[in-house]
Amino acid sequence: MALVSCAVRGNTSACLPGRKAALPIFEGDLPKLAANISTLFTELPFLDRIAAAKAAGFKAVECQGPYHTPASDFARTLKQEAMPVVLMNAPAGGEGDRGLAALPGREKDFRDSMARALAYAHEIGAPRMHVLAGAIAPGAASEAAYIENIRWAAERAREVGVIVQLEPLNAQDNPGYFLRTTAQAVALLGRIARDNVKMQFDFYHCQITEGDLARHAEALLPHYSHIQIAGVPGRNEPDRGEINYPFLFDLLDRIGYDGWVGCEYRPAAGTLAGLGWAARWGIGGRAP
């Protein structure tokens, strides 16, 4: 019997072959806020953060590297809490690595890590995976390795209904990182030419590197399938600093973005203490 996965398209669910049925997806006006449980609720054990996110009003979770937790335990907790996971990261590599996809000569390491990551994503029902590029100067060899590796990953990801996400990271926090700008990401998407490879649009990184977020959000809409947010500077709560998120959320509604907005920030003084910024969207409450 073929496995089935339900992915979000607009306000409907479409089932993709090859992956387990996903948990119910929230439908409603933007923003659809997902708690990144690698950065939020860190005062709690990892799996307990799922219930904490639900109690606070979030309708989904995302995470960075969950591999310290057995996938079966993660999947069971998601099911118990009726919370979907909407994004996870592929492994970053070994000590000191920031990903492997753009590193010539590390192709076997990359493929081994992706096989592990996709098996994990299949088990927990994650529909998107951020694949880190690595810290290496842009050049012909690194670009060729990146394109080939992402194409390979995309074909394997298609078998389990996963979208591969490419995220430009700012050089201030990630010196030497290969993928640095949205323009570079769009150019690479064109060369990779796989319909299950999309850009991950992190407003925090884009503001530091490029600014002009409203124009970027509108112009890049065909290319991204997931958004992440944090305050600039500091990467704290989204109401701290120079970004006007209520304005940007209204813009996303107007231009028709219907995906998730991942809250990947570092609370300044505890997760619950800093959730006042999201009260207007029904987020708050108390952790169990």
Cβ atoms of residues 155 and 169 within 8 Å: no
Tell me the pLDDT band of 29, cut-offs 50, 70 and 90. Answer: low
Which entry of 62, 143, 167, 237 is annotated as an active-site residue? Answer: 167
pLDDT digits (tens, 9 = 90+) for 86-122: 999 999 999 989 999 999 999 999 999 999 999 999 9
pLDDT for 46-64, tens place per residue?
A: 999 999 999 999 999 999 9
Domains of the chain, residue spans: 28-281
Percent above pLDDT 90 for the chain: 86
Annotated catalytic, 155? no
Q: What does the pLDDT read at residue 14?
A: 35
Residue 176 has pLDDT above 50, yes or no: yes
Q: Which of 62, 143, 237, 264 is catalytic?
A: 264
pTM value is 0.89
Residue 183 CA: distances (Å) to CA of 3, 55, 122, 163, 220: 36, 38, 31, 20, 9
Q: Using CB atoms within 10 A of its CB, is residue 242 exposed (0-12), middle (13-18) or buried (19+)?
A: exposed
Q: What is the mean pLDDT of the segment spanning 260-273?
A: 97
How distant is the alpha carbon of residue 154 from its chain centre?
Answer: 16
Question: How much is the pLDDT for 172?
Answer: 96
Active site residue 167: yes
On whether the CB atoms of residues 20 and 3 are closer than 8 A, the answer is yes
28-281 has which fold? TIM Barrel (3.20.20)
- Give pLDDT, residue 285: 54
As a whole number, mean pLDDT of residues 163-182 equals 97
Give, for 8, the enclosing helix (H) or strand (E). Answer: strand 4-9
